[in-house]
Amino acid sequence: MNINPFIDLIVTLLNLYCWAIMAKITADMLEYFGVTFNSITFSRVRFALDELTGIVLNRCKHSIFTFGGFNLAPLVVLVLLEFLKNLLHTYLYMA
């Protein structure tokens, strides 16, 4: 049973941010493979994803090397977010 609703809110927001990163990865892969959508909706969604995830991913991208043209920054950010969620559950639920 969850005790603190604020921790649940933070974990839910972190989960939503993880999904936004995964959606950005999918949109980047579609663009890389040449799949183009000429709709204004896709471009707006793409812009929103870039604005949401760009701050964290760009900072991580500058401090982590690329592996043969493959950007490892989203993977590192997802792992760190999972670590943060586990940290919240472990230390704040036990208090």
pLDDT tens by residue, 76-86: 999 999 999 99
Check residue 92 and report its DSSP letter: I
Question: How far is residue 95's CA from residue 89's CA, in Å, rounded to a whole number?
Answer: 10
Q: What is the pTM of this model?
A: 0.84
Residue type, 35: V
Question: How far is residue 26's CA from residue 3's CA, in Å, rounded to a whole number?
Answer: 35
Domain of 62, in residue numbers? 5-93
For the chain, what is the domain count? 1
Residue type, 59: R
**24-37: string of b/e by CB count within 10 Å (b at 16+)?**
bbebeeeeeeeeee
pLDDT band with cut points at 50, 70 and 90 for residue 94: low
